[in-house]
Structure 1
């Protein structure tokens, strides 16, 4: 049975805790799993932060690109 990705909808969270919630969720992932981030704007700055701190450890796939809702699947890659 396939595993369903957890949904992390940060649209109702106050902005200053959004990134911490996302990073905590990423940190809890096992290799080969992921979650779907739901946001009210393009989370591109988050991509750059993840790339700086977790280069080569994550996948980033847009599922929906606005204009009101963005959905991105963020996965933890298995170690090489």
Structure 2
């Protein structure tokens, strides 16, 4: 059935490069697939960017919420149009 989600750890990436990597990873997902984002802060601004640009097309589930590490599963909704 489902395979384990790929982990994308952006903690060592330059802040200016992080969103680019995250959206590249998201764009490469098939319907129903996801990845786990690992970050050194709450990626709430990223959530708002996803909500604005991919309304109804993504899922966002916190797996770990700090204080030093945040892990969020970001997925592409299986029944999303597009």
Deviating above 2 A after TM superposition, structure 1's stretches of 4 or more consecutive aligned residues are: none
> Residue 67 of structure 2 aligns with which residue?
67
Q: Write the mapping of 1:21-36 to structure 2, written as runs, cut at 5 A.
A: 21-36=21-36
Unaligned 5+ residue runs, structure 1? Answer: none
Alignment TM-score, normalising by the size of structure 1 = 0.96
Alignment TM-score, normalising by the size of structure 2 = 0.94
How far did 1:79 drift?
2.4
How far did 1:78 drift?
1.4
How far did 1:29 drift?
0.3
Q: What is the RMSD computed on CA atoms of the aligned residues?
A: 0.9
Q: Number of matched residues?
A: 80
Alpha-carbon distance in structure 2 between the residues aligned to 1:64 and 1:55: 23
